[in-house]
Amino acid sequence: MDFALDARTVELQENLLDFMDEHVYPAEAVFAEQLAQLENRWAWEQAPVVGQLRDEARRRGLWNLFLPGAEGAGLSNLQYTALAEISGRSGNLAPAAMNCAAPDTGNMEVLHMFGTEQQKAQWLQPLLDGQIRSAFAMTEPDVASSDATNIETSIVRDGGDYVINGRKWWITGAMNPNAKVFIVMGKTDPGAERHRQQSMVLVPRDAPGLEVIRGMHVLGYDDHEHGGHAELSFTNVRVPAANLISGEGEGFAIAQARLGPGRIHHCMRAIGVAERAISMMCQRAEERMAFGKPLAEQGVIRDWIAESRVRIEQLRLLVQKTAWLMDTVGNRGAHTEIQAIKIATPSTVQWILDKAIQVHGAAGLSQDLELAAMYAVNRTLRFADGPDEVHKNALAKAELRRQNKPSQR
Protein backbone atom coordinates (compact mmCIF):
# COMPACT_ATOMS: atom_id res chain seq x y z
CA MET A 1 0.00 0.00 0.00
CA ASP A 2 1.13 3.49 -0.80
CA PHE A 3 -0.86 6.63 -0.20
CA ALA A 4 1.34 8.99 -2.17
CA LEU A 5 0.22 10.33 -5.52
CA ASP A 6 2.51 9.65 -8.47
CA ALA A 7 4.65 12.39 -9.95
CA ARG A 8 2.56 13.02 -13.03
CA THR A 9 -0.59 13.49 -10.98
CA VAL A 10 1.17 15.83 -8.58
CA GLU A 11 2.44 17.86 -11.51
CA LEU A 12 -1.02 18.07 -13.04
CA GLN A 13 -2.41 19.04 -9.65
CA GLU A 14 0.05 21.91 -9.38
CA ASN A 15 -0.82 22.99 -12.87
CA LEU A 16 -4.52 22.83 -12.08
CA LEU A 17 -4.17 24.60 -8.74
CA ASP A 18 -2.38 27.44 -10.52
CA PHE A 19 -5.13 27.53 -13.11
CA MET A 20 -7.75 27.69 -10.34
CA ASP A 21 -5.99 30.48 -8.49
CA GLU A 22 -5.05 32.56 -11.47
CA HIS A 23 -8.01 32.06 -13.73
CA VAL A 24 -10.99 30.14 -12.39
CA TYR A 25 -11.69 31.72 -9.02
CA PRO A 26 -11.30 35.24 -10.41
CA ALA A 27 -13.68 34.31 -13.23
CA GLU A 28 -16.54 33.29 -10.93
CA ALA A 29 -17.91 36.77 -10.41
CA VAL A 30 -17.33 37.65 -14.05
CA PHE A 31 -19.27 34.58 -15.15
CA ALA A 32 -22.19 35.51 -12.90
CA GLU A 33 -22.35 38.97 -14.42
CA GLN A 34 -22.07 37.76 -17.98
CA LEU A 35 -24.71 35.11 -17.37
CA ALA A 36 -27.13 37.73 -16.19
CA GLN A 37 -26.79 39.55 -19.49
CA LEU A 38 -27.30 36.64 -21.86
CA GLU A 39 -30.29 36.81 -24.14
CA ASN A 40 -30.91 33.08 -23.76
CA ARG A 41 -30.35 32.34 -20.08
CA TRP A 42 -29.52 28.70 -20.87
CA ALA A 43 -26.76 29.48 -23.35
CA TRP A 44 -24.08 29.67 -20.70
CA GLU A 45 -21.26 28.86 -23.10
CA GLN A 46 -21.81 32.22 -24.73
CA ALA A 47 -20.49 33.98 -21.65
CA PRO A 48 -17.12 35.14 -23.02
CA VAL A 49 -15.21 34.09 -19.93
CA VAL A 50 -16.02 30.45 -20.62
CA GLY A 51 -14.19 30.52 -23.93
CA GLN A 52 -11.24 32.28 -22.35
CA LEU A 53 -10.97 29.68 -19.63
CA ARG A 54 -11.21 26.88 -22.16
CA ASP A 55 -8.38 28.38 -24.17
CA GLU A 56 -6.24 28.64 -21.09
CA ALA A 57 -7.03 25.08 -20.00
CA ARG A 58 -6.13 23.78 -23.44
CA ARG A 59 -2.90 25.75 -23.38
CA ARG A 60 -2.02 24.20 -20.04
CA GLY A 61 -2.81 20.66 -21.14
CA LEU A 62 -5.78 20.49 -18.80
CA TRP A 63 -8.20 19.45 -21.54
CA ASN A 64 -10.18 16.20 -21.74
CA LEU A 65 -8.26 14.75 -18.83
CA PHE A 66 -11.18 12.48 -18.00
CA LEU A 67 -10.78 10.34 -21.12
CA PRO A 68 -8.61 7.28 -20.50
CA GLY A 69 -6.39 5.66 -23.09
CA ALA A 70 -4.45 7.11 -25.98
CA GLU A 71 -7.26 9.28 -27.33
CA GLY A 72 -7.49 11.03 -24.00
CA ALA A 73 -4.89 12.12 -21.50
CA GLY A 74 -4.11 8.53 -20.65
CA LEU A 75 -4.81 9.03 -16.98
CA SER A 76 -6.03 6.21 -14.82
CA ASN A 77 -9.25 6.69 -12.86
CA LEU A 78 -7.16 7.10 -9.75
CA GLN A 79 -5.02 9.80 -11.30
CA TYR A 80 -8.00 11.63 -12.66
CA THR A 81 -9.84 11.69 -9.33
CA ALA A 82 -7.15 13.89 -7.81
CA LEU A 83 -7.86 16.46 -10.49
CA ALA A 84 -11.62 16.08 -10.56
CA GLU A 85 -11.73 16.93 -6.88
CA ILE A 86 -9.90 20.19 -7.39
CA SER A 87 -12.14 21.12 -10.31
CA GLY A 88 -15.14 20.52 -8.07
CA ARG A 89 -14.17 23.46 -5.87
CA SER A 90 -15.48 25.71 -8.62
CA GLY A 91 -18.01 23.30 -10.02
CA ASN A 92 -19.72 25.59 -12.51
CA LEU A 93 -16.57 26.71 -14.25
CA ALA A 94 -13.57 24.46 -13.80
CA PRO A 95 -14.99 21.20 -15.19
CA ALA A 96 -16.53 23.06 -18.11
CA ALA A 97 -13.27 24.90 -18.77
CA MET A 98 -11.43 21.59 -18.89
CA ASN A 99 -14.10 19.88 -21.04
CA CYS A 100 -14.59 17.52 -18.14
CA ALA A 101 -18.14 18.37 -17.16
CA ALA A 102 -21.06 16.01 -16.74
CA PRO A 103 -22.99 14.78 -18.59
CA ASP A 104 -20.66 15.20 -21.55
CA THR A 105 -17.87 13.15 -20.04
CA GLY A 106 -20.13 10.14 -19.67
CA ASN A 107 -21.53 10.61 -23.15
CA MET A 108 -18.08 10.91 -24.67
CA GLU A 109 -17.08 7.72 -22.88
CA VAL A 110 -20.09 5.93 -24.31
CA LEU A 111 -19.21 7.06 -27.83
CA HIS A 112 -15.56 6.29 -27.20
CA MET A 113 -16.34 2.74 -26.11
CA PHE A 114 -19.38 1.86 -28.20
CA GLY A 115 -19.62 4.38 -31.06
CA THR A 116 -19.20 3.55 -34.71
CA GLU A 117 -16.60 5.44 -36.71
CA GLN A 118 -19.35 7.54 -38.20
CA GLN A 119 -20.85 8.31 -34.77
CA LYS A 120 -17.43 9.25 -33.50
CA ALA A 121 -16.76 11.57 -36.41
CA GLN A 122 -20.15 13.18 -36.22
CA TRP A 123 -20.56 13.52 -32.45
CA LEU A 124 -17.54 12.48 -30.44
CA GLN A 125 -15.00 14.68 -32.18
CA PRO A 126 -16.97 17.94 -31.82
CA LEU A 127 -17.61 17.02 -28.18
CA LEU A 128 -13.91 16.38 -27.56
CA ASP A 129 -13.21 19.70 -29.24
CA GLY A 130 -15.71 21.49 -27.06
CA GLN A 131 -17.72 22.68 -30.03
CA ILE A 132 -20.99 21.12 -29.02
CA ARG A 133 -22.51 19.61 -25.94
CA SER A 134 -24.76 16.66 -25.25
CA ALA A 135 -27.30 15.20 -22.87
CA PHE A 136 -28.23 11.77 -21.58
CA ALA A 137 -31.96 11.09 -21.64
CA MET A 138 -32.85 8.22 -19.34
CA THR A 139 -35.04 9.31 -16.39
CA GLU A 140 -38.80 9.35 -16.91
CA PRO A 141 -41.43 11.14 -14.88
CA ASP A 142 -43.92 8.35 -14.34
CA VAL A 143 -41.75 5.45 -13.25
CA ALA A 144 -39.03 4.65 -10.75
CA SER A 145 -36.18 4.97 -13.21
CA SER A 146 -33.63 3.54 -10.80
CA ASP A 147 -35.02 0.25 -12.06
CA ALA A 148 -34.15 0.42 -15.77
CA THR A 149 -36.73 -2.21 -16.59
CA ASN A 150 -39.39 0.39 -15.84
CA ILE A 151 -38.41 2.60 -18.78
CA GLU A 152 -41.46 3.28 -20.94
CA THR A 153 -40.03 5.22 -23.89
CA SER A 154 -40.36 3.12 -27.02
CA ILE A 155 -37.81 2.84 -29.81
CA VAL A 156 -39.35 1.03 -32.74
CA ARG A 157 -37.58 -0.03 -35.90
CA ASP A 158 -39.37 1.20 -38.98
CA GLY A 159 -37.55 0.53 -42.23
CA GLY A 160 -34.20 2.25 -42.10
CA ASP A 161 -35.22 4.33 -39.08
CA TYR A 162 -35.99 4.13 -35.43
CA VAL A 163 -39.11 5.89 -34.20
CA ILE A 164 -39.06 7.20 -30.65
CA ASN A 165 -42.00 8.01 -28.42
CA GLY A 166 -41.89 8.90 -24.79
CA ARG A 167 -41.28 11.51 -22.13
CA LYS A 168 -38.09 12.26 -20.18
CA TRP A 169 -37.22 14.70 -17.45
CA TRP A 170 -34.26 15.83 -15.38
CA ILE A 171 -32.17 15.68 -18.55
CA THR A 172 -29.20 17.68 -17.35
CA GLY A 173 -27.63 20.15 -19.72
CA ALA A 174 -30.39 19.82 -22.28
CA MET A 175 -31.71 23.37 -21.95
CA ASN A 176 -28.44 24.64 -23.41
CA PRO A 177 -29.16 25.23 -27.12
CA ASN A 178 -25.65 24.02 -27.88
CA ALA A 179 -26.48 20.56 -26.50
CA LYS A 180 -26.79 19.27 -30.03
CA VAL A 181 -27.26 15.58 -29.40
CA PHE A 182 -29.08 13.43 -26.85
CA ILE A 183 -28.37 9.82 -26.03
CA VAL A 184 -31.84 8.41 -25.50
CA MET A 185 -32.62 5.23 -23.62
CA GLY A 186 -35.77 3.36 -24.56
CA LYS A 187 -37.16 -0.09 -25.16
CA THR A 188 -36.72 -1.78 -28.50
CA ASP A 189 -38.07 -5.10 -27.30
CA PRO A 190 -40.36 -5.06 -24.25
CA GLY A 191 -40.78 -8.79 -24.55
CA ALA A 192 -37.09 -9.65 -24.19
CA GLU A 193 -35.26 -10.72 -21.07
CA ARG A 194 -35.30 -7.94 -18.43
CA HIS A 195 -31.90 -6.48 -19.22
CA ARG A 196 -32.06 -6.94 -22.99
CA GLN A 197 -35.16 -4.84 -23.62
CA GLN A 198 -33.37 -1.50 -23.69
CA SER A 199 -31.41 0.25 -26.41
CA MET A 200 -29.79 3.64 -26.84
CA VAL A 201 -30.02 5.90 -29.85
CA LEU A 202 -28.47 9.23 -30.74
CA VAL A 203 -31.08 11.91 -31.33
CA PRO A 204 -30.12 15.31 -32.73
CA ARG A 205 -31.60 18.25 -30.88
CA ASP A 206 -33.38 19.49 -33.98
CA ALA A 207 -35.11 16.19 -34.77
CA PRO A 208 -38.77 16.84 -35.60
CA GLY A 209 -41.09 15.68 -32.84
CA LEU A 210 -38.56 16.32 -30.09
CA GLU A 211 -39.80 19.07 -27.82
CA VAL A 212 -37.86 20.71 -25.02
CA ILE A 213 -40.73 21.51 -22.67
CA ARG A 214 -39.23 23.27 -19.70
CA GLY A 215 -36.37 23.38 -17.24
CA MET A 216 -36.84 21.59 -13.94
CA HIS A 217 -35.90 23.47 -10.79
CA VAL A 218 -33.85 22.15 -7.89
CA LEU A 219 -34.91 23.86 -4.72
CA GLY A 220 -35.20 27.34 -6.24
CA TYR A 221 -32.47 26.97 -8.84
CA ASP A 222 -32.92 26.26 -12.53
CA ASP A 223 -29.20 25.57 -12.90
CA HIS A 224 -29.04 27.53 -16.12
CA GLU A 225 -25.33 28.06 -15.57
CA HIS A 226 -24.72 24.53 -16.70
CA GLY A 227 -27.67 23.96 -18.99
CA GLY A 228 -30.44 23.14 -16.55
CA HIS A 229 -32.46 19.96 -16.39
CA ALA A 230 -34.95 19.61 -19.20
CA GLU A 231 -38.27 17.91 -19.55
CA LEU A 232 -38.41 16.46 -23.06
CA SER A 233 -41.15 14.90 -25.09
CA PHE A 234 -40.57 12.59 -28.04
CA THR A 235 -43.45 12.24 -30.49
CA ASN A 236 -42.73 10.02 -33.43
CA VAL A 237 -39.16 11.22 -33.48
CA ARG A 238 -37.41 9.50 -36.35
CA VAL A 239 -33.64 8.86 -36.58
CA PRO A 240 -31.64 6.73 -39.00
CA ALA A 241 -30.94 3.19 -37.81
CA ALA A 242 -27.25 4.10 -37.89
CA ASN A 243 -27.89 6.21 -34.80
CA LEU A 244 -28.29 3.10 -32.67
CA ILE A 245 -25.42 2.71 -30.24
CA SER A 246 -23.75 -0.71 -30.17
CA GLY A 247 -26.79 -2.89 -30.83
CA GLU A 248 -30.40 -3.56 -29.95
CA GLY A 249 -30.76 -4.79 -26.40
CA GLU A 250 -27.45 -3.26 -25.34
CA GLY A 251 -28.98 -0.26 -23.57
CA PHE A 252 -28.74 -1.65 -20.08
CA ALA A 253 -25.15 -2.78 -20.52
CA ILE A 254 -24.13 0.62 -21.90
CA ALA A 255 -25.82 2.36 -18.99
CA GLN A 256 -23.91 0.16 -16.55
CA ALA A 257 -20.61 0.84 -18.29
CA ARG A 258 -21.30 4.57 -18.14
CA LEU A 259 -22.11 4.50 -14.44
CA GLY A 260 -18.79 3.67 -12.82
CA PRO A 261 -16.68 6.56 -14.05
CA GLY A 262 -19.66 8.90 -13.78
CA ARG A 263 -20.06 8.18 -10.11
CA ILE A 264 -16.39 8.53 -9.38
CA HIS A 265 -16.36 11.93 -11.07
CA HIS A 266 -19.46 13.11 -9.27
CA CYS A 267 -18.12 11.95 -5.94
CA MET A 268 -14.72 13.54 -6.35
CA ARG A 269 -16.18 16.84 -7.45
CA ALA A 270 -18.52 16.65 -4.48
CA ILE A 271 -15.51 16.24 -2.21
CA GLY A 272 -14.08 19.35 -3.83
CA VAL A 273 -17.33 21.10 -2.98
CA ALA A 274 -17.00 19.97 0.62
CA GLU A 275 -13.42 21.17 0.79
CA ARG A 276 -14.44 24.58 -0.42
CA ALA A 277 -17.22 24.64 2.16
CA ILE A 278 -14.82 23.70 4.96
CA SER A 279 -12.47 26.40 3.84
CA MET A 280 -15.25 29.00 3.81
CA MET A 281 -16.46 27.78 7.19
CA CYS A 282 -12.99 28.17 8.69
CA GLN A 283 -12.48 31.63 7.27
CA ARG A 284 -15.88 32.84 8.39
CA ALA A 285 -15.34 31.34 11.85
CA GLU A 286 -12.12 33.28 12.17
CA GLU A 287 -13.60 36.60 11.07
CA ARG A 288 -17.06 36.65 12.56
CA MET A 289 -17.40 37.92 16.09
CA ALA A 290 -20.32 36.94 18.32
CA PHE A 291 -20.68 37.52 22.03
CA GLY A 292 -17.20 38.98 22.24
CA LYS A 293 -15.13 36.34 20.51
CA PRO A 294 -14.69 34.88 17.06
CA LEU A 295 -16.90 31.94 16.14
CA ALA A 296 -13.68 29.95 15.81
CA GLU A 297 -13.49 29.86 19.58
CA GLN A 298 -16.98 28.43 20.03
CA GLY A 299 -16.81 24.75 20.93
CA VAL A 300 -19.77 23.75 18.79
CA ILE A 301 -18.28 25.37 15.68
CA ARG A 302 -15.02 23.59 16.33
CA ASP A 303 -16.88 20.34 16.66
CA TRP A 304 -18.37 20.86 13.21
CA ILE A 305 -15.01 21.70 11.72
CA ALA A 306 -13.36 18.63 13.23
CA GLU A 307 -16.20 16.35 12.16
CA SER A 308 -16.08 17.79 8.66
CA ARG A 309 -12.37 17.14 8.34
CA VAL A 310 -12.57 13.64 9.77
CA ARG A 311 -15.48 12.65 7.57
CA ILE A 312 -14.11 14.04 4.34
CA GLU A 313 -10.71 12.40 4.82
CA GLN A 314 -12.35 9.02 5.15
CA LEU A 315 -14.62 9.59 2.22
CA ARG A 316 -11.86 10.70 -0.12
CA LEU A 317 -9.87 7.57 0.59
CA LEU A 318 -12.82 5.39 -0.24
CA VAL A 319 -13.39 7.17 -3.53
CA GLN A 320 -9.70 6.86 -4.37
CA LYS A 321 -9.68 3.19 -3.51
CA THR A 322 -12.72 2.70 -5.71
CA ALA A 323 -10.94 4.43 -8.59
CA TRP A 324 -7.95 2.18 -8.01
CA LEU A 325 -10.17 -0.90 -8.04
CA MET A 326 -11.72 0.22 -11.32
CA ASP A 327 -8.20 0.57 -12.69
CA THR A 328 -7.03 -2.79 -11.44
CA VAL A 329 -10.01 -5.14 -11.44
CA GLY A 330 -12.45 -3.24 -13.62
CA ASN A 331 -15.81 -1.59 -13.03
CA ARG A 332 -17.47 -4.90 -12.29
CA GLY A 333 -14.92 -5.82 -9.65
CA ALA A 334 -15.43 -2.41 -8.06
CA HIS A 335 -19.21 -2.74 -8.05
CA THR A 336 -19.70 -2.73 -4.30
CA GLU A 337 -17.30 0.14 -3.75
CA ILE A 338 -18.97 2.17 -6.49
CA GLN A 339 -22.24 1.69 -4.63
CA ALA A 340 -20.58 2.56 -1.38
CA ILE A 341 -19.28 5.93 -2.57
CA LYS A 342 -22.65 6.69 -4.14
CA ILE A 343 -24.22 6.11 -0.72
CA ALA A 344 -21.64 7.88 1.38
CA THR A 345 -20.77 10.96 -0.62
CA PRO A 346 -23.95 12.99 -0.94
CA SER A 347 -24.98 12.57 2.68
CA THR A 348 -21.54 13.40 4.03
CA VAL A 349 -21.26 16.46 1.83
CA GLN A 350 -24.79 17.53 2.71
CA TRP A 351 -23.91 17.43 6.39
CA ILE A 352 -20.84 19.57 5.84
CA LEU A 353 -22.68 22.08 3.65
CA ASP A 354 -25.44 22.40 6.21
CA LYS A 355 -22.89 23.30 8.86
CA ALA A 356 -21.00 25.66 6.56
CA ILE A 357 -24.27 27.45 5.83
CA GLN A 358 -25.10 27.63 9.52
CA VAL A 359 -21.73 29.24 10.29
CA HIS A 360 -22.45 31.95 7.71
CA GLY A 361 -25.85 32.85 9.08
CA ALA A 362 -28.58 33.77 6.62
CA ALA A 363 -25.96 34.89 4.11
CA GLY A 364 -25.13 31.23 3.73
CA LEU A 365 -28.55 30.63 2.18
CA SER A 366 -28.42 33.66 -0.09
CA GLN A 367 -27.23 34.48 -3.56
CA ASP A 368 -24.16 36.23 -2.11
CA LEU A 369 -22.35 32.98 -1.47
CA GLU A 370 -22.18 29.77 -3.44
CA LEU A 371 -23.04 27.57 -0.46
CA ALA A 372 -26.78 27.39 -1.03
CA ALA A 373 -26.39 26.52 -4.70
CA MET A 374 -23.80 23.90 -3.78
CA TYR A 375 -26.28 22.48 -1.30
CA ALA A 376 -28.96 22.25 -3.98
CA VAL A 377 -26.70 20.52 -6.48
CA ASN A 378 -25.47 18.06 -3.90
CA ARG A 379 -29.01 17.29 -2.75
CA THR A 380 -29.85 15.99 -6.21
CA LEU A 381 -27.01 13.47 -5.95
CA ARG A 382 -29.07 11.57 -3.38
CA PHE A 383 -31.39 10.74 -6.31
CA ALA A 384 -29.01 10.65 -9.26
CA ASP A 385 -29.08 7.21 -10.85
CA GLY A 386 -31.24 5.87 -8.07
CA PRO A 387 -31.99 7.10 -4.56
CA ASP A 388 -29.64 6.25 -1.71
CA GLU A 389 -32.08 3.66 -0.44
CA VAL A 390 -31.89 1.56 -3.61
CA HIS A 391 -28.11 1.47 -3.42
CA LYS A 392 -28.09 0.62 0.26
CA ASN A 393 -30.51 -2.19 -0.29
CA ALA A 394 -28.38 -3.64 -3.06
CA LEU A 395 -25.16 -3.29 -1.13
CA ALA A 396 -26.68 -4.99 1.89
CA LYS A 397 -27.88 -7.89 -0.21
CA ALA A 398 -24.36 -8.39 -1.53
CA GLU A 399 -22.93 -8.19 1.98
CA LEU A 400 -25.44 -10.71 3.28
CA ARG A 401 -24.60 -13.06 0.44
CA ARG A 402 -20.88 -12.73 1.06
CA GLN A 403 -21.16 -13.14 4.82
CA ASN A 404 -23.38 -16.18 4.58
CA LYS A 405 -21.26 -18.13 2.16
CA PRO A 406 -19.90 -21.27 3.83
CA SER A 407 -16.26 -20.51 3.09
CA GLN A 408 -16.39 -16.84 3.98
CA ARG A 409 -13.37 -15.63 5.92
- Stretch 204-223 residues interacting with a second copy (CB under 8 A): 216-222
Among 305, 326, 349, 352, interactor with a second copy by CB under 8 A: 305
Residues 6+ apart with CB under 8 A from 67: 73, 105, 108, 109, 112, 128
Binding map of a second copy across residues 358-387, x = CB under 8 A, - = no contact: x--xxx-xxx----xx-xx--xx-xx---x
H or E segment and range at residue 10: helix 7-19
Q: Please, are residues 173 and 227 in contact by the beta-carbon 8 Å criterion?
A: yes
Nearer to a second copy, 102 or 373 (CB): 373
Q: In angstroms, rounded to a whole number, what is the distance separating the alpha carbons of residues 275 and 353?
A: 10
Q: How far is CA 158 from CA 155, 188, 193, 264, in A?
A: 9, 11, 22, 38
Piece of 102-110, 116-124, 188-196, 306-314 that binds a second copy (CB under 8 A): 306-314
Q: Which long-range CB contacts under 8 A does 382-385 form with residues at least 24 apart?
A: 382/346, 382/347, 382/350, 384/266, 385/146, 385/259, 385/262, 385/263, 385/342
Minimal distance, residue 180 CB to a second copy, in Å: 25
In the range 18-37, which residues lie near a second copy by CB under 8 A?
21
Q: Is the peptide bond before 406 cis (omega within 30 degrees of 0)?
A: no
Of 40, 34, 31, residue with least CA distance to 177: 40
Among 101, 171, 315, 352, interactor with a second copy by CB under 8 A: 315
Nearer to a second copy, 202 or 268 (CB): 268
Nearer to a second copy, 143 or 241 (CB): 143
Nearer to a second copy, 23 or 54 (CB): 23
Nearer to a second copy, 108 or 175 (CB): 175
| 157 near a second copy, rule: CB under 8 A | no
Nearer to a second copy, 1 or 70 (CB): 1
Nearer to a second copy, 16 or 184 (CB): 16
Minimal distance, residue 318 CB to a second copy, in Å: 5
Piece of 40-48, 111-119, 197-205, 295-303 that binds a second copy (CB under 8 A): 295-303
Piece of 30-38, 60-68, 204-212, 284-292 that binds a second copy (CB under 8 A): 284-292
Among 55, 233, 298, 351, interactor with a second copy by CB under 8 A: 298
Exposed, middle or buried: residue 407 (CB in 10 Å: 0-12, 13-18, 19+)? exposed
Piece of 29-37, 93-101, 118-126, 315-323 that binds a second copy (CB under 8 A): 315-323
Binding map of a second copy across residues 324-353, x = CB under 8 A, - = no contact: xx--x-------xx--x--xx---------
Q: Please, are residues 281 and 357 in contact by the beta-carbon 8 Å criterion?
A: no
- Please state the separation of Cα 401 from the chain's center in Å: 31
Question: Could you give the residue ranges of the DSSP H alpha helices within 20-76?
Answer: 25-36, 48-59
Ramachandran sector of residue 193 (left: φ over 0; alpha: ψ -120 to 50; beta: rest): beta
| 310 near a second copy, rule: CB under 8 A | yes
Q: In angstroms, rounded to a whole number, what is the distance separating the alpha carbons of residues 376 and 367?
A: 12
Binding map of a second copy across residues 115-144, x = CB under 8 A, - = no contact: ------------------------x-x--x
- DSSP type of residue 217: P
How many residues line the site for a second copy (CB under 8 A)? 93
In the range 61-100, which residues lie near a second copy by CB under 8 A?
78
Minimal distance, residue 131 CB to a second copy, in Å: 30
Nearer to a second copy, 98 or 216 (CB): 216
Binding map of a second copy across residues 236-275, x = CB under 8 A, - = no contact: ----------------------------------------
Q: In angstroms, rounded to a whole number, what is the distance separating the alpha carbons of residues 384 and 374?
A: 15
Minimal distance, residue 151 CB to a second copy, in Å: 14
Q: Which long-range CB contacts under 8 A does 142-145 form with residues at least 24 apart?
A: 142/167
Piece of 45-53, 185-193, 199-207, 292-300 that binds a second copy (CB under 8 A): 292-300
| 15 near a second copy, rule: CB under 8 A | no
Question: Could you give the residue ranges of the DSSP H alpha helices within 223-292?
Answer: 251-287
Q: In angstroms, rounded to a whole number, what is the distance separating the alpha carbons of residues 18 and 59?
A: 13
